[in-house]
């Protein structure tokens, strides 16, 4: 197994507002984070309401280490989005058309910049104007998983009652080698754009909502 890349870190503040962030006591400084569940919860409990990633999310550079670093940071963006914490981040994508990739990630808070593909500025503008919370969420009930997906302009709802799914999602949540998940499950999730593939890693895209903007039944 290749050496793991350095864990992510963020600059964090107690408020969204640029002026408020300059006041004494508003900065939480640079916070290194272990690439494991609970990083977003830790930031929230510290009072962070805005965070800036230490480096761009790079999905264009080949290799396991680059993929691992990118997914570690995407985990933070996803989990902070679920808590409505403002995230400042930058995204580097492979060259080529940007539309499919940005729509796959469009449930996440929009990045500051998108570089790499053709028409990146157009894709970023569309992402910013069409983004809202709860575009791609999941929940677990007794004996089933349900995913609600609005990234494509309509509501697509998927319900899985196969008992293997909770374990598969748990492995994919932080990004796992594709061989760690049953092939038929991974194929189905990939076909529905519910996982992101980076090198040999597969990563679970939906988030569980931590802060509802309206009554849960409306979402």
Q: Could you tell me if 78 and 184 lie in one domain?
A: no
Rounded Cα–Cα distance for residues 124 and 57 (Å): 15
Domain final residue pick, 106, 130, 154: 130
Q: What is the dihedral of CA 40, 45, 48, 52, to 10 degrees?
A: -30
Q: Could you tell me if 108 and 170 lie in one domain?
A: no
Residue whose C-alpha is closest to residue 86's, from 109, 70, 106, 57:
109
Q: Quote the DSSP letter at residue 6.
A: P
Q: Could you tell me if 141 and 182 lie in one domain?
A: yes
User: Is residue 122 situated within a structural domain?
Assistant: yes
Structural domains in the chain (count): 2
Q: Could you tell me if 140 and 66 lie in one domain?
A: no
Q: Could you tell me if 116 and 17 lie in one domain?
A: yes
pLDDT in tens, 125-176: 999 999 999 999 999 888 899 999 999 999 999 999 999 999 999 999 999 9
Q: Rg of the Cα trace of the chain?
A: 17
Q: Could you tell me if 166 and 204 lie in one domain?
A: yes
Q: How confident is the model at residue 4 (pLDDT cuts 50, 70, 90)?
A: confident
User: Is residue 2 situated within a structural domain?
Assistant: no
Q: Could you tell me if 46 and 70 lie in one domain?
A: yes
**Structure confidence at residue 99 (pLDDT):** 66
**Structure confidence at residue 34 (pLDDT):** 79
Q: How confident is the model at residue 219 (pLDDT cuts 50, 70, 90)?
A: very low
Where is pLDDT greater, at 128 or 1? 128
Q: Could you tell me if 101 and 17 lie in one domain?
A: yes
**Above 70 in pLDDT, residue 1?**
no
**Above 50 in pLDDT, residue 218?**
no
Tokens in use for 51? 């965070």
Beta strands across the sheet bearing 57-58: 57-58, 90-92, 113-115
Q: Could you tell me if 149 and 183 lie in one domain?
A: yes
pLDDT in tens, 98-131: 667 889 999 999 999 999 988 899 999 999 999 9
Rounded Cα–Cα distance for residues 178 and 164 (Å): 15
Q: Could you tell me if 156 and 208 lie in one domain?
A: yes
Rounded Cα–Cα distance for residues 14 and 47 (Å): 5
User: Is residue 24 situated within a structural domain?
Assistant: yes
Q: Could you tell me if 55 and 144 lie in one domain?
A: no
**Structure confidence at residue 3 (pLDDT):** 67
pLDDT in tens, 68-87: 999 999 999 999 999 999 99
**Structure confidence at residue 57 (pLDDT):** 97
**Structure confidence at residue 217 (pLDDT):** 46
**Structure confidence at residue 38 (pLDDT):** 87
Rounded Cα–Cα distance for residues 219 and 134 (Å): 7
Domain final residue pick, 75, 95, 130: 130
User: Is residue 163 situated within a structural domain?
Assistant: yes
pLDDT in tens, 13-70: 999 898 999 999 999 999 998 767 789 999 999 999 999 999 999 999 999 999 999 9
User: Is residue 70 situated within a structural domain?
Assistant: yes
- For residue 144, give the 3-state DSSP assignment: strand
Q: Could you tell me if 121 and 142 lie in one domain?
A: no
User: Is residue 1 situated within a structural domain?
Assistant: no
User: Is residue 3 situated within a structural domain?
Assistant: no
**Above 80 in pLDDT, residue 216?**
no
**Above 60 in pLDDT, residue 212?**
no
Domain final residue pick, 111, 130, 149: 130
**Structure confidence at residue 141 (pLDDT):** 86
Q: What domain range is 88 assigned to?
A: 9-130
User: Is residue 4 situated within a structural domain?
Assistant: no
Rounded Cα–Cα distance for residues 209 and 154 (Å): 19
Tokens in use for 216? 């849960």
Identify the residue whose tokens are 């992510």. Answer: 8
């Amino acid at each position: 197994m290749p050496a793991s890349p350095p864990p992510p870190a963020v600059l964090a503040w107690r408020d969204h507002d640029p002026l408020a962030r300059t006041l004494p006591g508003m900065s939480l400084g640079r916070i290194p984070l272990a690439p494991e569940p609970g990083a977003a919860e830790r930031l929230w409990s510290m009072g962070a309401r805005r965070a800036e990633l230490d480096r761009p999310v790079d999905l264009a550079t080949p290799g396991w280490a680059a993929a691992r670093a990118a997914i570690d940071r995407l985990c933070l963006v996803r989990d902070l989005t679920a808590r409505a914490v403002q995230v400042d981040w930058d995204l580097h994508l492979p060259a080529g058309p940007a539309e499919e990739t940005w729509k796959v990630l469009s449930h996440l808070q929009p990045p500051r910049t998108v570089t790499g593909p053709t028409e990146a500025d157009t894709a970023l503008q569309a992402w910013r104007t069409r983004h809202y919370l709860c575009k791609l969420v999941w929940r677990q009930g007794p004996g089933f998983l349900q995913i609600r997906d609005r990234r494509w302009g309509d509501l697509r709802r998927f319900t899985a009652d196969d008992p293997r799914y909770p374990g598969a999602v748990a492995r994919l949540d932080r990004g796992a080698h594709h061989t760690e998940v049953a092939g038929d499950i991974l194929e189905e999730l990939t076909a529905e754009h519910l996982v992101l593939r980076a090198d040999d890693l597969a990563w679970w895209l939906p988030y569980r909502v931590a802060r509802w903007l309206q009554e849960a039944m409306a979402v």
